[in-house]
Amino acid sequence: MTKKLTRPPFAEQRPHSYERHGYVVNDPWHWLKDERYPVVEDEDVLAYLKAENQWFEQNMTDRKPLTQSLFQEMKARIKEDDSSVPQKDGDWLYWSKFEEGMQYRQHWRKAVSGGEDQLMLDEDVLADGKEYFRLGAASVSPDGRLLAYSYDDNGSERFEARIKDLSSGEQLPDVIPGTLSRLVWSADSKMLLYGLANEQWRTDNARLHVLGTDIGDDVELYHEDDEGFRVGIGLTQSEKYIVISTGDHETSEVRLVPTDNPLAEPILVSARKVGREYEVEEHDGMLYILTNDEHVNFRLATAPVTDPDNWSTLIAGSDEFYLTDVCTFKDFYVTEGRENGLDQIEIRSYADPAKVERIAFPEASYSAGLSDNPEYDVAKLRLSYDSMVTPDTVFDYHLSDQLLETLKVQEIPSGYDASQYVTERLMIEVRDGTMVPVSLVYRKESKVDGSAPLHLYSYGAYGYAVPPSFSTTRLSLVDRGFVYAIAHIRGGDDLGRNWYLDGKLTKRTNTFNDFVDVARGLIAKGYTSEGRITASGGSAGGELMGAIVNSDPELWGAIVAHVPFVDVLNTMQDESLPLTPGEWPEWGNPITDKTAFEYIRSYSPYDNVTAQAYPPMLITGGLNDPRVTYWEPAKWTARLRATKSDDNILLLKTNMGAGHGGKSGRWNALEETAEEFAFILWQMGMAE
């Protein structure tokens, strides 16, 4: 029996320092990085992580009833035997479903002409006996006979690809370990394209496997020599071309390979130019190219496949409309984007560029987009829709009469009445005069007099816009009187591409300041008060949590930081890590650039922990996480314990058999959310 800890674990300090750009950086918890990573077997490292996990369990023991209660109410909002809306692709209808009580999905199909339902893949069977399971890519061959799929069973994001004969149910002998890409079929269903992860967990290649041949004989169709670039594999909507793309966070390059002849010389659309991004669709021999070469909010250009670098503007870039995607169908094409931060979907005519049909949605604030539309020749579009108060909704949009048909609304078995909730969209002025959008949801009876607790969430990086979408788990806070707020801060691209650019590189601290100023603005407007705000974020959003507790610790009643990217200065100097070279356009390269070094050093959460009072904090990590390595949250926790001046609770939980996304399986993941909310309610004095 493990002896109960009487005080929190303290990781010893071991002298370690380095010099760069005239600065000496001391890192006494450097030893928590096992130098044999991704193998982690250093006994001292494991002992510390296990001790922190024990401390977490001990402190959460009295919260077990609350955690279980939260889990049960969250689970009661989920339809256990749920199924997706079937979608036609060729001769088949495809859908997925959960069986009652099961953790993972089953994937089904049925012939359009009729017949019995066919179970293609059962994730619960694949996950049996495994602590972790995640299905990666899945693709049915054009002839409908084979299913290529990949899975990760430890959270390391190294996927093993396999091929199943759907007519017999047998597994083919072809097994491809270490993939990190989509799986794309050739037109004749005899070849499969994929990308392998190299030793640094980077996909620098596109490879071709001929079924029935040795994996060692696979042909490398493309190899990327720039360590900062990643290779991706896709398919045009017309399925005429395989798309081999490569790029980092600011530059891209695309090659096309005919699906009926993958060994043909790839067509280079346009050679890379630093700072120019583009992506490509195809229709009837014409390329449709989404690019930021002339306008920060992107334009849409066309070029013949026979002259792919000769671009002509079809839709010019706009200050008001942020063009984010294009999808070409047989008789029309669709553009997606945002205007005033709200999603827009527009149907466009090939014959008449001036003819634009914008789909109208029923609410003033919402999240909407194209959903699963696998076919090229269609008369209706599958759309997804939700809002802060409207559950996930699946629409078909009929082009002939411009009508939305509701196919499915997320069912909440325990009951949900949208009329009992209020959603708002505010604009809050931050310190440099910028107006930042905030999405709110709370119960009608909640008072806006400063007395309510408020939970503030954001991400703020990589141009990812956090949508004002629906969440069943969030109701467990809102129904207990919380105002739930999403801060659409810079670093995301909520208000256009400049919104993203204003939160990266030398403008990174705008992201942190926006979050703090939104919190203060919500206090000023009476939604909450100082110390009554809880906040959470993960990955780069965890970095955000680290920055705001360093700068303004008094604001927060409790903080939850999931897999937090907090050791920014050290990580951005470690070229051996999976993501580092590709991240320099996002954060700067502190190895070669003194200015970048100084700027990152000024905000890196781990490097800026000071002897002050910090709020109660729950920090999580994953031992197998290749994105934010386990030692980042571990080192941060160790430095906080040794430095902070308060007695507030500080907990670190490391998933020893998972990666960046935490535990797998819908119930296991829900249990972790219940733990998070139990921690928040405990610290806010609302645990009863």
Instruction: Give per-residue pLDDT as tens, 433-485.
Output: 999 999 999 999 999 999 999 999 999 999 999 999 999 999 999 999 999 99
- Beta-sheet strand order (sheet of 483-487): 421-429, 435-443, 483-487, 454-457, 533-538, 556-562, 617-622, 650-655
Residue 522 confidence (pLDDT) above 90: yes
Percent of the chain exceeding pLDDT 90 equals 93
Instruction: Look at residue 477 in the predicted model and tell me its pLDDT.
Output: 98
Supply the pLDDT for residue 439: 96
625 is catalytic: yes
The reply to whether 660 belongs to the active site is yes
- What was the pLDDT predicted at 662? 78
Residues 69-81 pLDDT 10s: 999 999 999 999 9
C-beta of residue 314 within 8 angstroms of C-beta of residue 301: yes
The one catalytic residue among 387, 539, 604, 664: 539
- For tokens 């760069």, the residue is 20
Find tokens 């500080």 and name the residue: 650
Q: Return d(Cα 449, Cα 453) in angstroms, integer.
A: 11
The stretches of 106-155 forming alpha helices (DSSP H) are 123-127
Phi-psi bin for 144: left (phi > 0), alpha (psi -120 to 50), beta? left
Does residue 601 register a pLDDT over 80?
yes
For the segment 510-515, the average pLDDT, to the nearest whole number, is 98
Q: Is the pLDDT of residue 579 over 90?
A: no
Question: 577 pairs with which residues across the strands?
Answer: none
User: Can you tell me the mean pLDDT for 271-278?
Assistant: 98
Evaluate the omega torsion of the peptide bond into residue 38 and state whether it is cis, within 30 degrees of 0. yes
How far apart are the C-alpha atoms of 489 and 303, rounded to whole Å? Answer: 36
Is residue 362 packed enough to be buried (19+ CB in 10 Å), middle (13-18) or exposed (0-12)? Answer: exposed
What would the mean pLDDT of 382-406 be, rounded to a whole number? Answer: 96
Q: Taking 60 as the threshold, does the pLDDT of residue 574 lie above it?
A: yes
Instruction: Please tell me the predicted confidence (pLDDT) of residue 623.
Output: 94
pLDDT, mean of residues 274-286:
98
Q: How many residues in the chain? A: 688
Q: Each residue of 88-109: pLDDT tens digit?
A: 999 999 999 999 999 899 999 9
What does the pLDDT read at residue 661? 79
The whole-number pLDDT of residue 659 equals 75
Per-residue pLDDT, 1 = 53
Over residues 137-185, the pLDDT tens digits come to 999 999 999 999 999 998 888 899 999 999 999 999 999 999 999 999 9
pLDDT band for 523, please (50, 70, 90 cuts).
Answer: very high
Average pLDDT value for residue range 219-247: 97
Residue 85 is classified by DSSP as: P
CA distance 393 to 363: 13
Strand partners, 160: 151
Is 645 one of the catalytic residues?
Answer: no
What would the pLDDT profile of 645-675 be if each residue is shown by its tens digit? 999 999 999 999 877 777 787 888 899 999 9
